[in-house]
Amino acid sequence: MSERLGCTPSQTVGPFLHIALPWPDGPFVVPEGTPGSFWITGQLFDGNGDPVIDGLIEIWQADPDGRFDHPDDPRGATKPAIPGFRGFGRSDTDAEGRFRILTVKPGATPTTDGADEAPHIDISVFARGLLDRVVTRLYFPDETAANDADPVLASIDDARLRSTLIASPSDDGGLRFDIHLQGAHETAFFEL
Amino acid sequence: MTNLVLPSYPKVVGVHPNLDWPAYGGTKFRHPLHAPIDLPQRLTEVTGPLLGEGRLGEFDNDLTRQHDGEPQGQRIIVHGRVLDEGGKPLPATLIEIWQANAGGRYRHVVDNWPSPLDPNFTGLGRTLTDDQGRYRFTTIKPGAYPWHNNDNAWRPAHIHFSLFGRAFTQRLVTQMYFPDDPLFFQDPIFNSVTDERARQRLISRYDHSATTDHWALGFEFDIVLRGPSSTPFESHEDDDE
């Protein structure tokens, strides 16, 4: 086996990410007006319960059929049925730590051992004071049976931590998903 | 039933900073206290956004030509390759950069230390790597700047880099530094990378072959993203549904 190169280390995104990383279409995983689309809204908090105003939230997800338009999906890269579906969204946080992303619900995805994963969205969080990203997942509150059978959720023994991954219905018909970097309400984070 | 064979990205050990890093005060209330939970790499993790040409404007890779006039400062060329740990180039991957101006000031509302803004410099760029994983920016050398972490604290000159690679596992945000910066010794962000060899990989190399006579100094900065394991990847094309 040939020698592998050393990875470039992570560094914090710093306090000035707002000048570069927000895109006008960043929050739109799907175009506005897409049937079935909804807003994921939330706030990013630190261990004091203060909003994190210099953060960036990114999401990545399957399309509603559980497919990815990507060559490493071994079922074959599939063009999504929804015009303009990107699978990716990003939102910086505002002066109250709020973020919002417009998307559609992903389908369940198969695993290598034959089980299905419940519909889920992978999330990266970047911020000043985070020397590397942290990764979490969003699951859907109306998928109780699928969530109960989900291998990743099942791997989390701590019921409180597990519950941080289930979004709540929000007043606008979308989902609410707050992220707490630290403390009593700390979100479950993953090592990839 | 489709037989799923997925690439696997081995964990990167001893390279990235510890999130709990007291010397950098900003980490105090922002690092999770629970140990992270192991997430098996499945379809969502081994795929990722492949964002293309549509994201780029004409002068996005030349930060000196985004205004009517030229910015103040030392014109530089920053170039290099984006590779994975196996040495394989990553073509057509989006790179985003942002930086302070020559005086060390960012065009951002919360940066208000007494160094002037430059009307001819915004400080952000984007590009896609070519088919060999190469990228190239023209910009000016950013200045060092003070921050409130501790008494008389100065950030060494740096350019922020954001990269996607081709999988969620490969996403990286980092900072590129310049050779022989006298401020390295006192910077807790640079020194949060505790492995000496890994830390050196954050520093660009002066590259005389990229230096252009009577125009710009060249710096080379290769970026290595987490790579798939070298075990042969079986595509199982005939297993397709």
Write down the pLDDT at residue B238.
41
pLDDT tens track of chain A, all 192 residues?
468 999 999 999 999 999 999 999 999 999 999 999 999 999 999 999 999 999 999 999 999 999 999 999 999 998 999 999 999 999 999 999 999 999 999 999 998 888 899 999 999 999 999 999 999 999 999 999 999 999 999 999 999 999 999 999 999 999 999 999 999 999 999 999
Write down the pLDDT at residue B105.
97
Structure-token match 């009577």, residue found: B214
| pLDDT-based confidence at residue B231 (cuts at 50, 70, 90) | low
- Contact across the interface for A4 and B227, Cβ inside 8 Å: yes
- Contact across the interface for A9 and B240, Cβ inside 8 Å: no
Cα separation, B174 vs B110, whole angstroms: 21
Lowest mean pLDDT among A12-16, B37-41, B230-234: B230-234
The answer, yes or no, to whether residue B202 has pLDDT greater than 80, is: yes
Write down the pLDDT at residue B4.
82
- Contact across the interface for B167 and A17, Cβ inside 8 Å: no
Q: Which residue of B has its CA nearest to A74?
A: B4
Helices (H), chain A: 144-148, 151-154, 159-163
> Using CA of residue B39, residue B166, residue A112, residue A121, what is the dihedral sign?
positive
- Count residue pairs from A and B with Cβ separation < 8 A: 262
Averaged over B86-110, what is the pLDDT? 96
Q: In 3D, which of A11, A35, A177, A19 has the Cα closest to residue A101?
A: A177
The answer, yes or no, to whether residue B240 has pLDDT greater than 50, is: no
Residues in chain A: 192
% residues pLDDT > 90 (chain B): 89
Interface check for A192 against chain B (CB to CB < 8 A): the answer is: yes
Q: Are A56 and A92 in contact (CB under 8 A)?
A: yes
Averaged over B59-88, what is the pLDDT? 97
Secondary structure element (H or E) that encloses residue B45, with its range: helix B43-46
Compute φ and ψ for A154, nearest 5 degrees.
Answer: -65, -20
Cα separation, B166 vs A58, whole angstroms: 15
Q: Are B164 and B170 in contact (CB under 8 A)?
A: yes
| pLDDT-based confidence at residue B174 (cuts at 50, 70, 90) | very high
Write down the pLDDT at residue A115.
85
Write down the pLDDT at residue B21.
98
Q: Which residue of A has its CA nearest to B54?
A: A25
Write down the pLDDT at residue B232.
47
Cα separation, A31 vs A8, whole angstroms: 35
CA distances from A54 to A125, B30, B61, B144, B179 (A): 11, 12, 25, 21, 29
Write down the pLDDT at residue A189.
98
**Which residues of B does the annotation mark as catalytic?**
106, 145, 155, 158, 160
Secondary structure class of A160 (helix, strand, coil): helix
Interface check for A28 against chain B (CB to CB < 8 A): the answer is: no
- Contact across the interface for A72 and B192, Cβ inside 8 Å: no
Residue to mutate among A1, A3, A4, A11, with most B CBs inside 10 A, is A11
Secondary structure class of A8 (helix, strand, coil): coil
Residue to mutate among B13, B30, B172, with most A CBs inside 10 A, is B30
| pLDDT-based confidence at residue B239 (cuts at 50, 70, 90) | very low
Q: Which residue of A has its CA nearest to B201?
A: A8
Q: Which residue of B has its CA nearest to A126?
A: B173
The string over A102-119, giving b where at least 16 C-beta atoms fall within 10 Å of a residue's C-beta and e elsewhere, is bbbbbebbbbeeeeebbb
Closest Cβ opposite residue A87 in set B49, B86, B192: B49
Cα separation, B232 vs B139, whole angstroms: 40
Write down the pLDDT at residue A113.
82
Averaged over B219-232, what is the pLDDT? 90
Compute φ and ψ for A97, nearest 5 degrees.
Answer: 75, 10
Write out pLDDT tens, residues B114-168. Answer: 999 999 999 999 999 999 999 999 999 999 999 999 999 999 999 999 999 999 9
% residues pLDDT > 70 (chain B): 94
Interface check for A120 against chain B (CB to CB < 8 A): the answer is: yes
- Contact across the interface for A182 and B85, Cβ inside 8 Å: no
The string over B173-210, giving b where at least 16 C-beta atoms fall within 10 Å of a residue's C-beta and e elsewhere, is bbbbbbeebeeeebbbbbebbeeeebbebbbbeebeeb
> How far is B217 from chain A, CA to nearest CA, in Å?
23
The answer, yes or no, to whether residue B77 has pLDDT greater than 90, is: yes
Residue to mutate among A7, A45, A112, A163, with most B CBs inside 10 A, is A7
Secondary structure element (H or E) that encloses residue B196, with its range: helix B196-200
B-chain residues near A126 (CB < 8 A): 173
Q: How many CB atoms lie within 10 A of CB B168?
A: 26
ipTM, 2 dp: 0.97
A-chain residues near B43 (CB < 8 A): 62, 68, 73, 109-111, 117
Residues 34-63 of A with CB under 8 A from B: 46-48, 50, 52, 54, 58, 60-62
Q: Are B149 and B188 in contact (CB under 8 A)?
A: yes
- Contact across the interface for A8 and B50, Cβ inside 8 Å: no
Q: In 3D, which of A51, A33, A141, A150 has the Cα closest to residue A95?
A: A51
Structure-token match 């309400």, residue found: A185
Averaged over B81-94, what is the pLDDT? 97
| H helices, E strands: number in chain A | 3, 12
Write down the pLDDT at residue B212.
98
